Chain A
């Protein structure tokens, strides 16, 4: 605020509301210099002058206190003004971006940062559907794994009973089956009907 090269006398000509603490020091320097000159002149007056000197010092002290207080207040107000400006702009932006609900958040509301890559985006219904699909796929996988197991063991250990059931199935026999081979029947039937042509020759003969 103050020009470094300016002479201390200039402080006296300043607008009182532009005055800084440094200006007050300049003024006290100028007055002090003048008082020293007066002090060195005729004797007898020195008593009165030194009285005046104390009063002047006191006035300067008062001035110093007032000016520094004034400057501090000014800084604080400036800071507050800047903060309010920022806050106002933020609220203004938010209001423009979202609807009125987002600004006046209720107790059960949440603000979502749209720039956060990890922000919540999917609905409960979507999660439900994904889980359901996952479960269905897992169920299918389990069925396929069991089928594979059947298939493998069927090839490695083909028993006569199984071939009999294949033949029965192929001829659409409606004869009752025993409990023992019912399980095998269904397994082979499955292999038979699903892999007909490709595996039946291999599997059977």
Chain B
């Protein structure tokens, strides 16, 4: 990807840290990027730039609206007709976060049981797991626990960010929504997830949610890279995160393509 970067569209530029949906179930309260991350991003202007990509997997029962959620954000469309996802699908969404180009590779998975043996192979290496349920169907909330377990089995639990998303807000009354949110927040806390209520149909909270995902995943991966290096500041110019020389650019290109094809 690195060798070809048309400008990131204006509505995918993030400079401030996006806010949580509810303080009762959120991954962090800060309204700014981590001080080390900010410093690393600023270094970029005098050093060289790099491009990061995080893998996001979206799981949940069939017909809860995983594909609709992704399509609303990535394509800004909503299709009334239900079409079951076959196996897996993916989208790549390009952001610019704190001046750094950053991509989310969003994997949409089939909710139908019969595809589980295929989709589970795509869980590996996820930095973000989004578990989705239908606000109008409480059973789908109960199943999120299993979905998360399945997805976590393929990953190191400490290395993933987890989100719990209630969809189809437009379909439930505000009283019902509040009631279900209470249950969902309990589930989210158990799962150590951040909770969001959205509607792909109206678009409510969809962009806010994915921006939050992108910002948290970005910060998480930059911090992880910094941890890997010898010291927080010294390796920024020399580490492989921020600095990319000509030859390395080719390598990154190769490896990013490999990561798509191996999935």
Where the two chains meet, the residues of A that have a C-beta atom closer than 8 Å to any C-beta of B are 124, 127-128, 131-132, 135-136, 138-139, 142-143, 146-147, 149-150, 153, 179, 182-183, 186-187, 189-190
Contact = CB atoms under 8 A, between A and B. Distances in A.
Interface in B1-22: 1-7
A179 B261 contact: no
B48 A149 contact: no
Contacts of B46: 179
A179 B45 contact: yes
Contacts of A187: 3-6
Please give me the 4 A-B residue pairs with the lowest Cβ-Cβ distance, nearest first. Answer: A149-B6, A186-B3, A131-B87, A139-B260
A127 B118 contact: yes
B263 interface: yes
Interface in B162-216: none
Contacts of B101: 183
11 contacts: A128-B118, A131-B87, A131-B118, A138-B90, A139-B260, A143-B4, A147-B4, A150-B5, A150-B6, A186-B2, A187-B4
B48 A135 contact: no
Interface in B67-126: 86-90, 92, 101, 117-118, 121
Majority SS at the chain B contact face: loop
Nearest to A147: B4
Contacts of A138: 89-90
A66 to B, nearest CB: 61
A90 B106 CA distance: 52
Nearest to A169: B246
B31 to A, nearest CB: 27
Interface in B204-263: 244, 249, 257, 260-261, 263
A132 to B, nearest CB: 7
B6 A179 contact: no
A57 B5 CA distance: 108
A149 B257 CA distance: 19
B88 A131 contact: yes
Given A124-B117, A127-B118, A139 B4 contact: no
A147 B257 CA distance: 15
A139 B261 contact: yes
B47 interface: yes
Contact of A139 (B48, B121, B257): B257
A153 B6 contact: yes
Interface of B: 1-7, 44-49, 86-90, 92, 101, 117-118, 121, 244, 249, 257, 260-261, 263
A139 B47 CA distance: 29
Given A135-B263, A183-B49, A146 B5 contact: yes
Contacts of A135: 88, 90, 260-261, 263
Nearest to A131: B87
A190 B3 contact: yes
B3 A189 contact: yes
A128 B115 CA distance: 10
B261 A136 contact: yes
B228 to A, nearest CB: 22
Contacts of A147: 4
B30 to A, nearest CB: 27
A100 to B, nearest CB: 28
Contact of B4 (A131, A136, A146, A179): A146
B90 A150 contact: no
Contacts of B87: 127-128, 131
A173 B82 CA distance: 55
A31 to B, nearest CB: 75
B6 A142 contact: no
Q: Which of A138, A149, A150, A183 has the most CB of B within 10 A?
A: A183
Contacts of B49: 179, 182-183
Contacts of B257: 139
A150 B92 CA distance: 17
A136 to B, nearest CB: 5
Nearest to A150: B6
Contacts of B90: 135, 138
A153 B9 CA distance: 13
A62 B133 CA distance: 74
Nearest to A130: B87
